Every structure is written in structure tokens, then in C-alpha cells.
Amino acid sequence: MSKRGLGRGLNALLAGTQADDVARNVRELRLESIAPNPFQPRTHFDEDSLKELADSIRENGVLQPVLVRRRGPERYEIIVGERRLRASRMAGLATIPAIVRECSDRDMLLVALVENVQREDVNPVEQAQAYYRMQHEFGLTQEEIARRVGRSRSAVANTTRLLSLPERALQALQDGRITEGHARLLVSLDPSLQGTALEAFLGRQMSVREAEAFVRSLRRGENAAQAEGVQPGSRDPNLAALEDSLSVALGTRVAVEPLVRGRGSVRIEYYTEEQLEGIVERIIGGS
């Protein structure tokens, strides 16, 4: 299947459901007749957020119909609107307004992935996993993914690189014990130093600025005890900031070594052939 033929996307599924046509297509379906999306990539639905939505539904009803596909006589699967479906059950409703559309398994997965990464409360790990699946299961380039989800290509690339982190770091990010800023600093480090840095971030509850200073120290070859005592500004702050920016942008350690009369060198490290290919792609802007 060609890339152009992959999935019609949410807009195509909603085609013909605008304005007056909505009223003609919306029907009330029994909640018990609608099954969850089997391709739902989202694994966690915040309970407090669902309760708030349920309270709103009790007060105002379901303001936007969900989108479903038919799976048999009076049997359906949710395509878009699983939070509304769950909250409606929590609110004690018997039916929910819905629009029935034809949808293949591949379209259903792609729509669910796109819808989820556009949510404000999705965490960076879930975003990265969704981008990875779009790339490897649907053959989409990072440019195509960026267009579908309304983000820049660099944002998609930076988020996807988080998946190279060890499992403990990903779990800390997913749990909110470190931020995406901390995680990007970890990605820029030699894998042999990532565990040391993560322990320091968690143990001292470092801010991102403190973590940046710690990472600069590790890159200079200092041990963890020395690095924790280093204060920002022990080196030319402009060069240090430049190294940090390049390291985060390329996803690996970058060292800027000034010489004399404006000359110097930039050293970019890589640890696998795959990482080298990724660095080259980001530098030359290949698709």
C-alpha cells in the first residue's frame, strides 16, 4: 500500500458530518453496544480528569458525538471519543450521541495515534511511542507525521529520540519524576553516563538548570561527586550553552573546543551506526 493511500485520517472520516448534516447522521447508541478501540495506544486515562468530564456530562450532556464503526448487528467499536465514552458510563448515561463511519483497522489505529498525540495531557513517552508507530507501522516520514499532528519536524524528531533512553529513565519521565527537559539532557549523554545522571536528577530533585550544569561537568570527565559540586559558570557560559544546545539538537555529546583567533573544533560523538545515520540526517536535513 502506498503512503498516499495510508489511512484517510480524522478529517476524511468526518467528511459529510458538518453543519446540518451532523443532525442527519447522529444517532443515539446504547453505551453497552459500544466496545473500546482495540487499537487504542493510550494506556492511561486520568481518573480525576474523567470524573470532571463526567460531572460536566451530567450537567450539560455530551456536546460532541463520538465516532464509531459497525462491528455487527447493533454492535460498534469506538474510533474517536473514548474519554467521552468512559465519562458517559461514569455519569450513568444509557446512550450516547454517535456517528457511524466505515473504518479499516489501519485507519482506526492511525486516527487514534494522531488524536492522542494532539491531546494536552499526553505524556512525552506516549507521544514518542505514537510517532515511532506512525513511522514504522505506517511508513510515514517525520515530515508527514509533523503535518498530521500539527508540530514541527524537529519536535517530532526530538520526542522520538527519547525512546533511546533506558527503561528506568522512561518510567521516571512517564511518572512525572523528571521532565522532558531532563530527559533530553539524558539523551545527549554517552549511554554509560545516563544512569549516573538520572540518579543525580532524582536524588537531588534537580531543576533543569541544575541538571544542565551537572551534565556539563560529566561531559568534562568529572565524577558524580565532583559534578554535583560544580556551579554554573565554571566554564565560558556561552560555549557551555552552545554545547548543550547542540547536544540536545543532535541527541549525542557535542564538544566545542576553542583554539586561537576565532578558530576551534566541534567534536560530535556517536555510539552506534544507527545513531550516526540519525545525526547525519539531522545535520543535512534528509527525509
List 82, 115, 126, 243, catalytic entry:
82
CA–CA distance, 248 with 124 (Å, rounded to integer): 15
Q: Which of 80, 68, 151 is nearest to 116 (CA)?
A: 80
* Residue 24 CA: distances (Å) to CA of 15, 27, 70, 197: 13, 8, 17, 58
Q: Which residues pair with 97 in a beta bridge?
A: 28
Residue 82 a catalytic site member: yes
**Residue whose C-alpha cell is 464509531:** 68
Distance CA 155, CA 1 (A): 27
Q: Cα(163)–Cα(287) distance, rounded to whole angstroms? A: 20
Residue 231: Cβ-neighbour burial (10 angstroms; 0-12, 13-18, 19+): exposed
User: Sign of dihedral through CA atoms 192, 198, 204, 208?
Assistant: positive
State the catalytic residues.
Answer: 82
